[in-house]
Amino acid sequence: MTTTDETVQVDQEALMAFVFRAVDEVGAALNSALVVMGDQLGYYRSMAEHGATTPAELAERTGTDEHYAREWLNAQAAGSYVGYDPETQRYALSPEQAIALTDETSPAFVPGLFQIAHGTMRDTPAILEAARSGTGYGWHQHNTDVHVGCERFFRPGYLANLVDAWLPALDGVVEKLQNGGRVADIGCGHGASTILMAQAFPGSSFVGSDYHRESIDTARERAREAGVTDRIRFEAADATAVDGEGYDLITMFDCLHDMGDPVGAAHHVREVIADDGTWMIVEPAAGDNVEDNLNPVGRVYYGFSTLLCTPASLSQEVGRALGTQAGPARIRDVVNTAGFSRFRLAAQTPFNNVYEVRP
């Protein structure tokens, strides 16, 4: 124990434990770029396809320089993202690592989360300025890795849960969609959720909207690729100005807290939803109190809240800044203020709370 002054005592062991924890985290921070590298250069896919590899083989198969492949493999092995066998001097993915790092249809797929995190961190200088001035930084101002990473992070979870678990958890919604319902997906980004619903319910009609015009252009392209343009229309519009009326189902996936004026958006939903319609709000998993969210998932979301979602909300009119960890009470407050009378938590996953809201 070292005494630094009369009152403060520093436990050297605790200090060094903290320093080593920080070293581990700097490794993790660098790993966000390394995972993006492995994803975008095709390193992981090559390893999943060809099995145990040397740096030279990996470099040759991916058309990259061996020096980079070697250092990347060593960094990945040190972080337990790949295995290393000193006998053969080969590096390999376990079956579980191969799924998590290459299978975009698995809810365990993680490169999308790294891509959005890495893209978000690249825009940190702008966020520092915004924090000083108290202004915001819009979703549309970020680099493309934020938009594509968001799509690739969320889509596997929607694929696993939306049609099979979340919609069936809502009262009477599946029947309405099977019989041909009207659906608006607000803040749809690249349209992953809209397209999955359109594929599952070919007799219903879907409008996907987002204020970010480039995201809507991408959503239209994705709908063409999926062959669902006969039942989907995408439009660039703020949540407070979405077209149409009498919607049986209105959905918002991970976007209410990003909006500057969530109450204004909720008022608009109240105007365009059918009297017996359902509003499904999917938000990041969170409890109402800070202490409920002091866990690994909450840590990730508070990080995104600081660097991405809160600045996004502050960049818009009103700037309500609900925060990524808003929790059920604050979301209920928003919908009640807009005149909705029924609110319940209908489903949950480790990453999401799914709310059912009705007039």
Does 154 sit near ligand SAM (CB under 6 A)? yes
Task: List the structure tokens of 186.
Answer: 């607000």
Cβ atoms 73, 152 nearer than 8 A: no
Cα–Cα dist 250/248, whole Å? 7
Q: Closest Cα to residue 202, out of 183, 217, 225?
A: 183
Does 210 sit near ligand SAM (CB under 6 A)? yes
Does 73 sit near ligand SAM (CB under 6 A)? no
Does 258 sit near ligand SAM (CB under 6 A)? yes
What contacts 320, CB < 8 A, 6 or more positions away?
259, 260, 261, 262, 263, 313
Which residues share a beta bridge with 284?
352
Binding residue (CB under 6 A) for ligand SAM from 44, 72, 91, 139: 139
CB closer to ligand SAM out of 278 and 313:
313
Task: List the structure tokens of 233.
Answer: 């229309």
Does 222 sit near ligand SAM (CB under 6 A)? no
Does 316 sit near ligand SAM (CB under 6 A)? yes
CA atoms within 13 A on the CB side of 228: 27
Phi, psi of 348 (to 5 degrees): -145, 145
Instruction: Identify the three-state secondary structure at position 108.
Output: coil
Sequential DSSP letters for 4-25: SSSS-EE-HHHHHHHHHHHHHH
Cα–Cα dist 199/329, whole Å? 33
Does 39 sit near ligand SAM (CB under 6 A)? no
CB closer to ligand SAM out of 154 and 206:
154
Greatest C-alpha distance within the chain: 76
Does 255 sit near ligand SAM (CB under 6 A)? yes
CB closer to ligand SAM out of 77 and 163:
163
Binding residue (CB under 6 A) for ligand SAM from 192, 196, 249, 338: 192
CB closer to ligand SAM out of 151 and 356:
151
Does 259 sit near ligand SAM (CB under 6 A)? yes
Task: List the structure tokens of 101.
Answer: 């790092």
CB closer to ligand SAM out of 181 and 262:
262
Tell me how far, at minimum, the Cβ of 288 lies from ligand SAM, in Å. 21
Tell me how far, at minimum, the Cβ of 3 lies from ligand SAM, in Å. 49
Q: Which residue is nearest to ligand SAM (CB)?
A: 189
Does 194 sit near ligand SAM (CB under 6 A)? no
| Options 171-179, 185-193, 198-206, 287-295: segment touching ligand SAM (CB under 6 A) | 185-193
DSSP one-letter code for 281: E
**Tokens 């995408």 identify what position?**
234
CB closer to ligand SAM out of 77 and 126:
126
CB closer to ligand SAM out of 170 and 314:
314
Does 326 sit near ligand SAM (CB under 6 A)? no
Sequential DSSP letters for 120-160: HHHTHHHHHHHHHHT----GGGS-HHHHHHHHHHHHHHHHH
Binding residue (CB under 6 A) for ligand SAM from 118, 142, 176, 212: 212
State how far Cα 49 lies from the chain centre: 27
CB closer to ligand SAM out of 170 and 192:
192
CB closer to ligand SAM out of 259 and 326:
259
Give the footprint of ligand SAM on this chain (CB under 6 A): 139, 150-151, 154, 187-189, 192-193, 210-212, 215, 238-239, 253-255, 258-260, 312, 316
